[in-house]
Amino acid sequence: MSRDTVFVVDDDEAVRESLAAILDAQGFSAVAFASAEAFLLGYVPVPVGCAVIDLRMPGMDGLTLLEHMRAKGLQLPVVVVTGHGDVPLAVRAMKAGALDFIEKPYSSTALLDAVRRGLDTARAGNPVRVDLSDVRARLESLTMRERDVLRQLVIGNPNKIIAFHLQISPRTVEIHRANVMKKMAAENLSHLVRMALAVDTGDRGGVTV
């Protein structure tokens, strides 16, 4: 019985080996590439698979790779890996078609959860659907200030920058951020971004990012 395949694209050899070991231990078939160019040359379609791609790589970066994949019609679900402070880049990647993102340093649990979502999406043969009516209802529960904070979070701004833009204290931002996550029933920041982007695409009256 063939195993689900996870393609790992990362220029850091230690990271590639570590990811491959974690994935193999969970019963997945890990196929690693040291660059975006190597992936494009060596990729072979599989029945069920997804990719974990680092955004920051020399040569062709992860975002450009994602754009190449979509231009070629390659519908492989992609989880992008971003460093601290690169959330705006991750949002751009999700707009370009990435399914999810995880931030460094990430836990094995966060990685595996994202990979399983990717494989479930591949197995279903279609993108993850977001119930827009449900998300809109959650948005309606937010105060105006919480909506302001949400917009800033989806842009990728950290709490201190949000505080500066909104002229409030970082502690107040933390409180509003916690309220937004709770009211939106967001598991994490990437889940919050997915919902905001879905509403932004499906309903221009939603959260513009």
pLDDT for residue 43 is more than 50 = yes
The answer to whether 8 and 16 have CB atoms below 8 angstroms apart is yes
Structural domains of the chain, with CATH: 5-124 (3.40.50.2300), 132-202 (1.10.10.10)
Number of CB atoms found within 10 A of residue 77's CB: 24
SS3 of residue 149 by DSSP: helix
Question: What is the chain's mean pLDDT, rounded?
Answer: 87
Asked if pLDDT for residue 188 goes beyond 60, the answer is yes
pLDDT, position 94: 85
For position 156, what pLDDT does the model report? 81
The answer to whether the pTM exceeds 0.75 is: yes
